[in-house]
Amino acid sequence: MGRIRQLDAGLVNQIAAGEVVERPAAAVKELVENSLDAGAASITVRVGDPCWVRLEVQDDGEGILAEDLPLAVARHATSKVRVADDLLACTSLGFRGEALAAIGAVARLTVRSRPPQAPAGAVLTVAYGEAGSPAPAAMGPGTRVTVEDLFGRLPARAKYLRSPSAEYAAVHQVVARYAVGHYRVRFRLLRGDPGAEREELATQGGEDPRAALLAVFGTEVADRLLPLASEAGEGDGITVSGFVLPADLHRPHRRWQGLYLNGRPVANWTLRQAVEEAFRPQVPEGRHPGFWLWVTLDPARVDPNVHPAKLEVRVDGERLVAGRLYRAVAAALAGSSPAVPLWQPVFPTSAPDPAPAVAREAPVPAVPGPVPAPPAREPAAPLREAVADLVPLAQWQAKYIIAQGPDGLYLIDQHAAHERVYYEHFRRLAREARLAQPLLLPWTVSLSPEQWAAYEALKDGLLPEWGFAVDALGGRTLAVRAIPRGWGEVRADTFTALLDAYHQGGFGPGHSWDGPDQGALAMAACKAAVKAYRGLRREEMGALLAALAATADPRSCPHGRPTMLRLTLEEVDRRFGRSS
Ligand code: ADP
Ligand code: MG
């Protein structure tokens, strides 16, 4: 007898389900898409803690007829596509007829629904692939889909779940993405046990996308939005609208980005590249600009059927769309971008530097302190000498130091310079013994869901190893009782910055401080460094410049921003018509 056998249908479904619902956030995405396809004006997402125990999406859309319920949860059953041609011009978010079946194969799924015109609702439950039969249910119009014990009978799958807070953070992101993309719809996200739920996100719906951006990202984003010019279209059936953030608001992550193609959030490399290109060169390598863009085009030109979760899409005429995006974004930025600089970065900066050897032990001053001698060695040596020769003349705008050097006038960004100094200091400390330093007054810090996920991952390992002593106070609030010794001016926001850094990319292999992206240290340095808008005395300026000269690479802050601009003597002579 041969050894190859046909898999039974239940197993086939479970395997296929893995591509559609690989984690709770994916289930939420599918259910929210169904609600949007049903024309909902209001969508409420409720999740238990952990979210895989219970998650629920409720809407006020068109509902499902009782007689259709068994089909709704069957594989390859959909109301959205009937013939192959429909697929070519698909305007709905769903079309594969797979999501409910997939979720029902790996969880206990309960679908309650009542079309607005129907006199009563109906309910149907599927438990790990076994569908019950529809029963009447008393309910208002709309649909409520509940998913319980996701992967409950599939330990092999359950073990890939991350921590409750990490999975929750992913859910949060999904809801945020759709709440912005479909800003006309009211979204609510509630977390916790029934009766003790907290509202984590709420949008009002309405015609202005800015209201949704404000609700989701806060004033930091909403106050700086630059709208794309409204456009008549170029006769090619493509329209582009939305907002960008000024280039200086770049981030190490892409959470401040949304690209919606006919209402579908998409990851399309070419299109995203085109948008990011419009921000260059003002955005350093490894950082990402903010934008939320809505593109509409003939649905026949979008093929979303290339990825099971429909994240990737293929676009016919991609170059054309990319060009439109580039021009629209560049035009929106043009109003806000500076002219060609007369002052040049002293040394061209590029990516954050790859961990150069630390030159020497120099104590780092809270506000710049003692003057260390510049070490000699390596390629950066001559440039450190140049920096060591700088004489501060004045502080300008409480942000910049004007200094005189042998070859020109220098403008030094006091924050970027101090960041570089702190960065190298922290890196040195991280390699030395780590001791805790108790705080007289513990800090109370409230964490975002993402920060909390990072805290959970680090609380029993790295945090105590580094010298942090932290107590959970309930909710997402912590008391920080001790910090690593030698961290000088470390503040509560330095601590949360570390958690952000971890969330965004971990700390690299072995969770070292200076992992490949050095994100943690760079962020900590940023928070600890003297801020712009702080007056510095002449001695402080001198000390900062000297400390900068002692760093392994004074050219840039750890994020790759330049620390200094120079106006050369030749350039000044030339502009005054003095030179030959
Ligand atoms: P698809 O969305 O690809 O059609 P699903 O498995 O997600 O497949 O859903 C199957 C069908 O169930 C949908 O085609 C739709 O008719 C119905 N349905 C699912 N969710 C809802 C909802 N929230 N409101 C109305 N109908 C729904
Ligand atoms: Mg669907």
Please state the φ and ψ torsions of residue 57, each to the nearest 5 degrees.
-125, 125
Residue nearest to atom 10 of ligand 1 (CA): 72
391 and 292 co-located in one domain: no
Q: What are the pLDDT digits (tens) for 256-312?
A: 999 999 999 988 888 999 999 998 877 877 788 999 999 999 888 888 777 766 667
In a domain, 219, yes or no: no
23 and 64 co-located in one domain: yes
245 and 375 co-located in one domain: no
More confident: 31 or 157: 31
In a domain, 357, yes or no: no
Residue 58: nearest ligand to its CA? 1
412 and 296 co-located in one domain: no
Residue nearest to atom 20 of ligand 1 (CA): 34
- pLDDT of residue 437 exceeding 50: yes
175 and 261 co-located in one domain: no
- Over residues 172-193, mean pLDDT: 96
Name the domain count of the chain. Answer: 3
- Over residues 192-218, mean pLDDT: 92
Q: What are the pLDDT digits (tens) for 514-546?
A: 443 455 677 767 776 777 778 888 888 998 999
Ligand 1 site residues, Cβ closer than 6 angstroms: 30, 34-35, 38, 59, 61-64, 72, 78-80, 94-101, 143
pLDDT winner (highest mean) among 25-39, 242-256, 284-298, 469-483? 25-39
CA of 320 to the centre of ligand 1 (A): 33
- Euclidean distance between CA atoms 258 and 247, whole angstroms: 16
Domain boundary among 214, 245, 275: 214
In a domain, 338, yes or no: no
Residue 304: nearest ligand to its CA? 1
Q: CATH number of the domain at 33, please.
A: 3.30.565.10
How many Cα neighbours within 13 Å face the side chain of 244? 28
79 and 171 co-located in one domain: yes
| 367 contacts 547 by C-beta, under 8 angstroms | no
Closest ligand 1 atom number to CA of residue 57: 23
- Over residues 20-32, mean pLDDT: 93
In a domain, 275, yes or no: yes
What residues does 58 pair with on adjacent strands? 44, 144
199 and 238 co-located in one domain: no
- Euclidean distance between CA atoms 520 and 513, whole angstroms: 7
Domain boundary among 159, 183, 214: 214
Strand 436-446 and strand 477-484: the pairing is antiparallel
Q: CATH number of the domain at 384, please.
A: 3.30.1540.20
The reported pLDDT for the residue numbered 535 is: 84
CA of 449 to the centre of ligand 1 (A): 30
Closest ligand 1 atom number to CA of residue 99: 6
CA of 154 to the centre of ligand 1 (A): 25
67 and 161 co-located in one domain: yes
CA of 72 to the centre of ligand 1 (A): 6
In a domain, 409, yes or no: yes
In a domain, 4, yes or no: no
153 and 58 co-located in one domain: yes
Q: What are the pLDDT digits (tens) for 43-95?
A: 999 999 999 999 999 999 999 999 999 999 988 778 776 666 665 666 788 87
Burial string for 42-63 (b: 16+ CB within 10 Å, else e) reads: bbbbbbbbbbbbbbbbbbbbbb
In a domain, 64, yes or no: yes
| 466 contacts 507 by C-beta, under 8 angstroms | no
204 and 252 co-located in one domain: no
26 and 148 co-located in one domain: yes
Q: In the structure encoding, which two tokens stand for residue 170, read together?
A: 């992913």
Q: CATH number of the domain at 267, please.
A: 3.30.230.10
Which of 211-220, 288-297, 561-570 comes out lowest in average pLDDT? 561-570
Residue 470, helix vs strand vs coil: strand
Closest ligand 1 atom number to CA of residue 100: 6
pLDDT level of residue 119 (50, 70, 90 thresholds)? very high
Which residue range(s) make up the domain with 560? 343-351+367-580
| 485 contacts 436 by C-beta, under 8 angstroms | yes
300 and 405 co-located in one domain: no
In a domain, 1, yes or no: no
Strands (E), 80-149: 108-114, 121-127, 130-131, 135-137, 142-148
Please state the φ and ψ torsions of residue 437, each to the nearest 5 degrees.
-125, 110
